[in-house]
Amino acid sequence: MPRFPVATPQRNYTAVVERGAISRLAEFLPAKCGRIFVVTESAVWDLHGDRVRSALNQTTFDTLFFAGGEANKRISHVEQFAEQMAELGADRTSLIIAFGGGIVTDLGGFLAAIYMRGIPVIQIPTTLLAQVDAALGGKTGGNLVAGKNLFGSFHQPLAVLIDSDVLATLPEREYRAGLYEVIKHGVIASEPLFRVMESKRDAVFALEPKIVEHMVAESVRIKAEVVTADERESGLRRILNFGHTFGHALEAETKYSHFLHGEAVSWGIRAATHLGAALGMLPEQDSRDILAVLNAYGPIPSVAGIAAESLQARLLKDKKTIQARVHFVLPVRIGEVVVRADVPEAAVRAAIDRALAECS
Ligand SMILES: NC(=O)c1ccc[n+]([C@@H]2O[C@H](COP(=O)([O-])OP(=O)(O)OC[C@H]3O[C@@H](n4cnc5c(N)ncnc54)[C@H](O)[C@@H]3O)[C@@H](O)[C@H]2O)c1
Ligand SMILES: [Zn+2]
């Protein structure tokens, strides 16, 4: 059973990647576990709640239902849940199980971070995106009117249980959005993973268990190693933002309603690849291979009508932009990226133009 250790100053824990991993839930409950609260969405609970119920066996628990969607990833819901928990007698020994996609893992994690100044959370991600990214690494939070993910906290989980069986019910578009984050992991840290994505596309789409487990496990291994090296994103963890600087600009420009996060990341990887190639940092063949894989897993919804200058202006507003210097994560070969803050604006604009033209 693949188990990946995550070691951070806050907590050491394990990410388990295994078909049927949810059935092991009881093994990860703390010794002195008080009341258990499962934060989930009704759609997810209807499909897969029985897995959690039977894993908890005779243990009683309460379910906190979250309406779902980015528009609801708001602090007001966290407050509501906290009030509900208090009414139900939650105390410092209580445990939260966040069971759903990245929105639930982010919001449920944040609820755990702030309830009585912090109670434990076990993450059970149910979308591919949450399995390979959101549920691991301790970033929790939600949206303000002013922008996405503008409140939050680092709150590392007790464990992350990643069960690829639940992916069978994921809508294809959501699955594909997660695949772009897997491709990202390949480009930033693992040429072998990238080549698997390149050569096994049909098996990936057919959800062949061996391939799915492999790509999830490799992604989790990479993210676990990066988070272990840099919990708070002061250095190495920035490489996980590959494709995200451009991608966030696209999401914001389209008011988070036109693209799924992973789709915007796909476009962002494309722009960053063009930028790396134009700066002479990335061999041409590698650039061609990355673009070909993005195309093979595409298309993403059309970007027609989106103005390059607006996207460029938005780069400066990115949360990760420090003192008006945009930090770009750029590929130097498949399997390695670097962070650069000295990129000429004209080159950025040209990369945006090319990426827009290719996805119109
Ligand atoms: N904390 C982090 O490090 C981090 C990293 C990446 C993304 N995120 C966050 O993750 C969020 C996006 O997550 P997401 O893409 O998982 O979206 P999501 O949570 O909205 O889930 C997508 C959809 O899939 C449905 N769903 C979930 N599991 C299912 C299943 N097994 N079968 C059928 N349907 C299922 C959900 O009901 C929802 O409609 C964003 O808010 C983003 O900010 C956080
Ligand atoms: Zn992402």
Could you give all domains of the chain from N- to C-terminal order, each with its CATH number? 3-168 (3.40.50.1970), 172-358 (1.20.1090.10)
pTM metric for this prediction: 0.96
Q: How far apart (Å, rounded) are the C-alpha atoms in residues 88 and 288? A: 56
Residues 6+ apart with CB under 8 A from 55: 22, 23, 24, 25, 26
pLDDT in tens, 181-195: 999 999 999 999 999
| Residue 356 one-letter amino acid | L
CA-CA-CA-CA torsion for 115, 116, 118, 123, nearest 10 degrees? -40
Pick the range with the lowest mean pLDDT from 55-59, 113-117, 353-357: 55-59
What average pLDDT does the segment 62-85 reach? 95
In whole angstroms, what is the distance from residue 267 CA to residue 251 CA?
10
Query: Could you say which ligand is closest to the alpha carbon of residue 156?
Result: 1
Q: Percent of the chain scored above 70 by pLDDT?
A: 98
> Is the separation of the CB atoms in 181 and 262 below 8 Å?
yes
The mean pLDDT of 279-293, rounded to a whole number, is 98
C-alpha 244 – ligand 2 centre gap (Å): 6
Residue 322's pLDDT band (cuts 50, 70, 90): low
What are the CA-CA distances from residue 281 to residues 143, 191, 244, 278, 334 (Å)? 35, 17, 19, 8, 11
Atom 21, ligand 1: residue with shortest CA distance: 101
Give the atom of ligand 1 at the shortest distance from the alpha carbon of 149. Answer: 43
β-partners of residue 97 are: 38, 122
Q: 202 pLDDT exceeds 80? A: yes
| Whether residue 231 has its Cβ less than 6 Å from ligand 1 | no
187: three-class secondary structure by DSSP: helix
Query: Ligand 1 in contact with 8 (CB < 6 A)?
Result: no
- pLDDT value at 245 more than 90: yes
CA distance 63 to 84: 10
Specify the DSSP class assigned to residue 299: P
Stretch 208-220: mean pLDDT: 96
For the Cβ of 233 lying below 6 angstroms from any atom of ligand 1, the answer is no
Q: How confident is the model at residue 118 (pLDDT cuts 50, 70, 90)?
A: very high
Q: Are residues 333 and 268 in contact, defined by beta-carbon separation less than 8 angstroms?
A: no
Residues with catalytic function: 117, 139, 181, 223, 233, 237, 241, 244, 248, 261
Query: Which residues, at least 6 apart from 118, have a Cβ–Cβ distance to it below 8 Å?
Result: 112, 155
pLDDT at 346 over 90: yes
- Please check whether residue 240 is in contact with residue 186, taking contact to mean a CB–CB distance below 8 angstroms: no
Q: Is the CB of 47 under 6 A from ligand 1?
A: yes
CA of 129 relative to ligand 1 center, distance in Å: 6
Question: Which is it for the CA torsion 197, 202, 206, 208, positive or negative?
Answer: negative
Tokens for 174? 């959501």
Q: Which ligand is nearest to the CA of 233?
A: 1
| Angle, helices 308-315/244-253, rounded to nearest 10 degrees | 120
Q: In the predicted model, what is the mean pLDDT of the chain? A: 95
Query: What's the gap in Å between 114 CA and the centre of ligand 2?
Result: 24
Pocket test for ligand 1, best of 38, 66, 72, 106 (most atoms within 8 A of CB): 106
| Over residues 253-270, mean pLDDT | 95
Question: Closest ligand 1 atom, CA of 136?
Answer: 3
